[in-house]
Structure 1
Amino acid sequence: MKFIIKQSSLLEGLYRLGGVVGEKQNFPILNCVLVKTEKDKLKFISTSLEITIITYLESSIEEEGIVAIPFKRFVSIVRELPKEEVIVEAYKDNLHIKSEKIEFRINCINPEEFPEVEENIEESLIKLSISDLLEMIKMTSFCVGREELSYVFSGILFEIFESKINLVATDGKRLSFIQRPLPSTQPPINNKIKFILPIKSVYEVQKIIKDKEEVFIFVKGNDIGFDVKDTILITKTIEGEFPDYSQYIPQPTQDILTLKRSEFLSSLKRAQILSIPEYQGVKLNIQKTQMSISKSTPQLGELKEVINVSYTGTPLEISFNPNYLIDVLKNIDDEDVKFEIYGSDKPAVLRKDDFIYLVLPIKM
């Protein structure tokens, strides 16, 4: 195999692959990227067995072939080369990398050891808006369960039906739901598509769709693919049944707490300074026109401050983990924020443009 390629193009392509390489330390071949010549393009494949990324790069192919290259060493070399043409040539178990007066030789692994991965794309592709998908991931990913509560909580639920797409995430203490329409050029989906995407896969999807124009998804058994023209990500889904989240979302109430997002966010960040695992809660004393925010931690100290609010319900005290409020407030842009309050032992709900965030109070 021999090809010539611009250093910047090669490095950009390698960066797309890096997130899934090297996770299986007991399998050296999975620390490699498989490179194939395919007509006038190079095909790069990396896999962790759970996630596979395939990307294509334009190149001048002088000799066809296939090679498995240790990824980290290869990307480290390419990163330090001049921004000029790079000549890469594979000979037996060696890879020669040349650029101007620089020449590297590194050992490779037999490409036949590389596992077979799913590369076929289903014909029934579903078009998604990249801006909508990025926003939906941003508004749900912070709710994904990081603790060993339930495996199905360690990803984001995707639901695609008719002309809409829903994303839902929960860790059992809070829940985030967002809905957006499918692009107008996408025909309605008559058979509901539903799957849970692992959070690791979600982060890799974010990386490959950023700065792209359009993305298509395809479903093949337990595999989900995201296709952005020159790069394809194929991932295993999480097996299991996501709970019926709709039963936990209460009907709207007239008891509305309205406040300034930036002011409340700053107050919560100050309260968070005094948080430790044993004392996480922040107490909110909600009155008609004011709300006091207090935090007390025996080992550290205490805080109390008052902000102006508008509240249409009966005054009450309610406590939350400040992190759960900070996470949602820092991801929305509106300055005026409305929380629906159902009682001191009931969840608070924020609704905004087909986005719903529900957070449970804590006992103090």
Structure 2
Amino acid sequence: MKLTIERTALLHSLGHVQSVVERRNTIPILSNVLLEAKGDRLALTATDMELAIVEQVAVDASQAGAVTVPAHTLYDIVRKLPEGAQVQLELSGDGQQTTIKAGRSRFQLATLPKEDFPATGSGELPHQFPLSAGDLKGLIDRTKFAISTEETRYYLNGIYLHAFSSGKQKALRAVATDGHRLARVEMPLPEGAENIPGVIIPRKAVNELRKLIEETTGSVAVSLSESRIRFAFDDVILTSKLIDGSFPDYHRVIPNNNDKMLEVDRKAFRDAVDRVSTISSEKSRAVKLSLKSGLLTLSATSAEQGSATEELEVKYDGAPIDIGFNSRYLLDIADEIEGEGMQILLADSVAPTLMRDMADAQALYVLMPMRV
């Protein structure tokens, strides 16, 4: 294998694929990136056995071939080369080393046989449908903050994607919960997604996908089975195993009889929570909301720090109520609401609370209160 590629193009693609590679690996080949040159294309492949990414980039390949080299080392080398440099990669005759040249810089990296690199084929994925990059970003951004990081409840460590239908309503829904808060976002059901199984996309796959689609504006081809999912767009293919578990029946925790309705300016509410929470203890992060007609008082108290209160004029004509929340959770939800108005529906001080974006009926959030 012998090829020449512009440093920026190589760095861009390496930046995508190397982030899949774990820093510590008990299996040496999983620390490597597979480089396959053919014609005017170079395919870069990385995997951790759960998640695989393949990205193609234009090159000038004078000799086709394939090799695996340490992913993070290659990325660091290319990152430190001068901007605009032309990078040459050449595999030695015995296949033991790859030489990297750029200007007067020269590096030699040990290789591992390409035959040892795990196959990343995803098998048959019978369900296929398109999603715009914008819609996919929206589904991810407005739910991923609620993904659980508690490994014992592994079935909550991802986003639950499924088709939902009720009467004439048909939607593609993304749901995430950590047991304390729940985020549910939906969009019109894409053609081809009618019969998809409900699948849980792992947190790492969600994060890598979100980084990859940041730069694209086109359509993303989604393919899935009950055990794997693939996203293909531009010159990138991301394939991931799905979490093998049952997502809980989230409908049961979404309240439908909360009769106390509060409407508040989102930014004013978010900033007030942020200011008052400065006083709350690092452990509980508790903020108390005291509501009476037309007025919301936010307060926090800490034995070490003191106390803080702030008042906001709001639209509320229900019975007075005091309720406490984790301020971090309130801020996470407020940050995902894009409209100016935020609607909060309450029942009492211990029941789940419903939060909505007044400008977007497709997003819904549930937050469990806490004692304050």
Shorter-chain TM range is over 0.9
Q: Alpha-carbon deviations, 1:119-176, whole Å to 9, x = none?
A: 5574753101210110111110111112345111111101135763110000111111
Distance in 2 of aligned mates of 1:56 and 1:119: 18
**Could you tell me which residue of structure 2 aligns to residue 205 of structure 1?**
209
Q: How many residues align?
A: 361
**Could you tell me which residue of structure 2 aligns to residue 33 of structure 1?**
33
Q: TM-score, with normalisation over the residues of structure 2? A: 0.91
Distance in 2 of aligned mates of 1:188 and 1:32: 36
The 5-angstrom pairing of residues 1-364 of structure 1 reads 1-82=1-82, 83-91=84-92, 92-118=95-121, 122=125, 124-148=127-151, 150-160=153-163, 164-182=171-189, 186-212=190-216, 213-251=218-256, 253-352=258-357, 353-364=361-372
Q: Note if contact 1:215-1:226 (Cα within 8 Å) is conserved in structure 2.
A: yes
Distance in 1 of aligned mates of 2:297 and 2:19: 44
The more displaced of 157-166 and 203-212 is 157-166
Tell me which amino acid in the other structure corresponds to 1:210: E
For the residue of structure 1 that corresponds to 2:267, the secondary structure is: helix
Distance in 1 of aligned mates of 2:301 and 2:164: 47
For the residue of structure 1 that corresponds to 2:212, the secondary structure is: helix
The more displaced of 328-337 and 194-203 is 328-337
Q: Alpha-carbon deviations, 1:7-57, whole Å to 9, x = none?
A: 111111101102211344222221110111244311111001111111111
Q: Note if contact 2:199-2:226 (Cα within 8 Å) is conserved in structure 1.
A: no
Tell me which amino acid in the other structure corresponds to 2:46: S
Q: Alpha-carbon deviations, 1:252-272, whole Å to 9, x = none?
A: 645211112122111211222
Distance in 1 of aligned mates of 2:87 and 2:299: 61
Q: Note if contact 1:16-1:208 (Cα within 8 Å) is conserved in structure 2.
A: yes
Distance in 2 of aligned mates of 1:120 and 1:358: 37
Q: TM-score, with normalisation over the residues of structure 1? A: 0.93
Q: Note if contact 1:3-1:88 (Cα within 8 Å) is conserved in structure 2.
A: yes
Per the alignment, do residues 84 and 211 of structure 1 end up closer, same or farther by CA in structure 2, a change over 3 Å counting? Answer: same
The more displaced of 113-122 and 59-68 is 113-122
For the residue of structure 2 that corresponds to 1:35, the secondary structure is: strand
Q: Note if contact 2:284-2:326 (Cα within 8 Å) is conserved in structure 1.
A: no
Tell me which amino acid in the other structure corresponds to 1:344: S
Tell me which amino acid in the other structure corresponds to 1:9: A
The more displaced of 254-263 and 110-119 is 110-119
Unaligned runs of 5+ in 1: none
- CA deviation after TM superposition for structure 1 residue 306, in Å: 1.5
Per the alignment, do residues 124 and 238 of structure 1 end up closer, same or farther by CA in structure 2, a change over 3 Å counting? Answer: closer
Tell me which amino acid in the other structure corresponds to 1:175: L
- CA deviation after TM superposition for structure 1 residue 192, in Å: 3.3
Tell me which amino acid in the other structure corresponds to 1:10: L
